[in-house]
Structure 1
Amino acid sequence: MLEEVVATRYVTPLREGGSLPGIVEADDLGTYVMKFTGAGQGRKTLVAEVICGQLGRRLGLRVPDLVRMQLDPVIGLAEPDEEVQELLKASGGLNLGMDYLPGSIGFDPLAFAVDPLDAGRVVWFDALINNVDRSWRNPNLLVWHGELWLIDHGATMIWHHNWPTAAQAATRPYDASDHVLAPFDPDIAAAAKTLAPKVTRELLTEVAADVPDEWLVDEPGFEGPDGPDRLRAAYVERLLDRVATTHERIKLGPPTTQRPTQAPAWLRVWAEGKAAK
C-alpha cells in the first residue's frame, strides 16, 4: 500500500496541467504535486496514475514516488483563485501526491540526447499502457539531476473508460510516430526482451492493489461489495493481454508534418532574417 500523508498547505497551481494539479506541502515535511479527485477527468485519472506509475517504477523506469494524500477542503479558504477554491472543495478526502522534483526542467529533445536503449524502454512501456500523452506536443518527461523522469500517466489505459470493449483494445496497434522519443531510434526489441518477462500476473496484481477502494467503487459492471477487487483483476487481465505482443504492435512511421518548430527563439529569428535576404 502507498504511504499516506496529510496535506498541510496548498502552495500554487500548476496551470500547464489540464487537471490543474497543485504543489502541496504535507505533514511528513515533503512537497508533492497533488492530483485531485474533484478534477474534470475524475478518479480514473488517479487510478491510471497509480497502476502505471507503480508499474513503471517496478520495471526500473524513473517515476516520482507516489503517496496517498488526505485533503481537508478548509486548506483552500485562503486561496484567492475561485477555480482552485472549487477544485479543493470538490476534492475533500483521499487524493494522490507525486514527489515534487525541485529544479527539474521539461525535456527538450534538442538539448538532451537519449540512448536508443532508454528510448526503447520508454516507448515499449507507453505502448503497453497505451499512453496517448507522451508526444512532441506534450512530452510529460522531466530532466532531473541529468536523468530522464516519467510523469503524468493519467491519459493511459484508455480502454478503462469503456470496459465492455476493453478486451478488443489489446489487439490494436500503438502508433509511436509522434512519440517524443521516436527520433532517438528506440530499440524496441531490446526493451521487449528485458521488460516483458517482468510483467507477470503477480507483479500486476501487486501494482493494482495499491489503488484505494474509494476510487474503484460503483464502476458500471463491477457493482457490489467485491466490485473493487473484480475491477483490479480486470486491469490485470487487460495488461496481461497486451504484454506478450506489445513490441509487435508498435508503429514507428514519419512524424506528423503539421507541428510547431522546436527551434529556440534566437534561431528562428536568424532563419527568418536569412530567408528575407
Structure 2
Amino acid sequence: MSDTLHLRTVQVTRYITPLREGGSLPALAEADDDFKYVLKFKGAGHGSKALIAELLGGEIARALGLQVPEIVFANLDEAFGRTEADEEIQDLLQGSQGLNLALHFLTGAITFDPVVTDVDPLLASQIVWLDAFITNVDRTFRNTNMLIWHKELWLIDHGASFYFHHSWNNWENHAKSPFALIKDHVLLPKATELEQVDKAFKEILTEEKIREIVNTIPDEWLLWDDNRDVPEDLKEVYIQFLLIRKNNSEIFIKEAQNARQTLI
C-alpha cells in the first residue's frame, strides 16, 4: 500500500462566480475535465493553512465512510484572471497561482436544515466525533456546512479545522484539548452513540492511514513566511497531532457527552 493518497489534479479553465457566503471568497469554477468545482484559494485570508485543513478534514471524513464531495488539486496558471473586472477577485487569483484546492460542485444540493431533516443517532455521533477529533469549529446551527444531495447528507467546508496551526504554539497541548466548542455543534443533541463510534473509528484511523492522508499535503502549501521548518517536519507535526488526539479520544468524548447532557 502506498503511503500517499493520490488526488486528481485539474486545470482551472473558467472562473464562473464568487461564492460570497464564505469569508475566504471561494468561487464556482470549471476545470479542464468539464466538471464544476467549488474552488478554494491559497491566496485568501488564512492562506494555504485553510486548504490544508480542508484537505485533511475532508479526507479523514471520507476514510471514516462519511460523504464528502471529491477533493482535487486545482491548478491556476499565471494568465488566469487577468480579464477579471473585480479588483479584489483579480488580486485573489493572481495571489493563488499554482496549486489550490477544489471540491466537486454538487449540482442541485440544498443546505441541511436540522428542523427539516432528521439525522439518525449513529450518523450524528459519527459527525460529532469527526469534528471533535479535527477540532472543527464550524458545524453549528448558524452555519451547518452540510448539504442534502440525492437524499444523503454530505459534509463540506472543513477549512476551520486544526486551528492550532494558526499559532503553531503548544500543539501537543492542543492535541489533548477537550474541544469545548463542541457544545455548539448542530448534531450534538442527536449524538447518543459516541462511545460505539469512538471504538469503530479508532480502528479505521491507523497510523498508516493517518500518514497516507497527511502525506497528501503539497510541499508548496507548507512554505509559510513565518516558518523555517521543512515541509516533512511540518507534516510530522500534523501526523503526531492526530495520533495523540486519537489516543486520548476519551478527553473529547467526555466533553461532548457532558455538553450534550446540558442541552437535553
State the Cα distance separating 1:68 from its structure 2 match. Answer: 0.8
Which residue is equivalent to 1:236?
A: 239
8 Å CA contact 2:68, 2:155 repeated in 1 = yes
TM-score by length of 2: 0.90
Which residue is equivalent to 1:274?
A: none
- Greater gyration radius: 1
Mapped pair 1:38 → 2:60: no
TM-score by length of 1: 0.86
Mapped pair 1:111 → 2:146: no
Instruction: Specify the code of the residue in structure 2 equivalent to 1:241.
Output: I
State the Cα distance separating 1:217 from its structure 2 match. Answer: 2.2
8 Å CA contact 1:116, 1:185 repeated in 2 = yes
User: Which of 57, 62, 76 is matched with 2:62 structurally?
Assistant: 57
The DSSP-based 3-state class of the residue aligned with 1:24 is strand
Work out the CA distance in 2 between the residues paired with 1:2 and 1:229.
19
Percent identity (aligned) = 45
Task: Please list, as runs of the form range in 1=range in 2, the aligned pairs for 1:1-277 lying within 5 A after superposition.
Answer: 1-175=6-180, 176-218=182-224, 222-223=228-229, 227-249=230-252, 250-251=255-256, 252-253=259-260, 254=262
Work out the CA distance in 1 between the residues paired with 2:189 and 2:169.
36
Work out the CA distance in 1 between the residues paired with 2:86 and 2:225.
32
State the Cα distance separating 1:161 from its structure 2 match. Answer: 1.8
The DSSP-based 3-state class of the residue aligned with 1:74 is coil
Instruction: Specify the code of the residue in structure 2 equivalent to 1:236.
Output: I
Instruction: Specify the code of the residue in structure 2 equivalent to 1:134.
Output: R
- Per chain length, whose mean CA-contact separation is higher, i.e. which structure has more relative contact order (CA < 8 Å, sep 6+)? 2
State the Cα distance separating 1:128 from its structure 2 match. Answer: 0.5
State the Cα distance separating 1:197 from its structure 2 match. Answer: 1.4
Q: Is the alpha carbon distance of 1:88 and 1:194 closer, same or farther for their aligned partners in structure 2, counting shifts above 3 Å?
A: same
C-alpha RMSD over aligned residues: 1.6
8 Å CA contact 1:53, 1:63 repeated in 2 = yes
State the Cα distance separating 1:154 from its structure 2 match. Answer: 0.7
Work out the CA distance in 2 between the residues paired with 1:190 and 1:90.
45
8 Å CA contact 1:222, 1:230 repeated in 2 = no
State the Cα distance separating 1:174 from its structure 2 match. Answer: 2.1
8 Å CA contact 2:128, 2:191 repeated in 1 = no
Work out the CA distance in 2 between the residues paired with 1:11 and 1:36.
14
Work out the CA distance in 1 between the residues paired with 2:187 and 2:250.
15
Instruction: Specify the code of the residue in structure 1 equivalent to 2:116.
Output: A
Work out the CA distance in 1 between the residues paired with 2:146 and 2:173.
29
State the Cα distance separating 1:218 from its structure 2 match. Answer: 4.3
Structure 1's consecutive aligned runs of 4 or more residues displaced over 6 angstroms after TM superposition are none
State the Cα distance separating 1:177 from its structure 2 match. Answer: 1.9
- What 5-or-longer segments of structure 2 have no aligned partner? 1-5
State the Cα distance separating 1:228 from its structure 2 match. Answer: 1.0
Which residue is equivalent to 1:259?
A: none
The DSSP-based 3-state class of the residue aligned with 1:164 is coil
Work out the CA distance in 1 between the residues paired with 2:176 and 2:118.
32
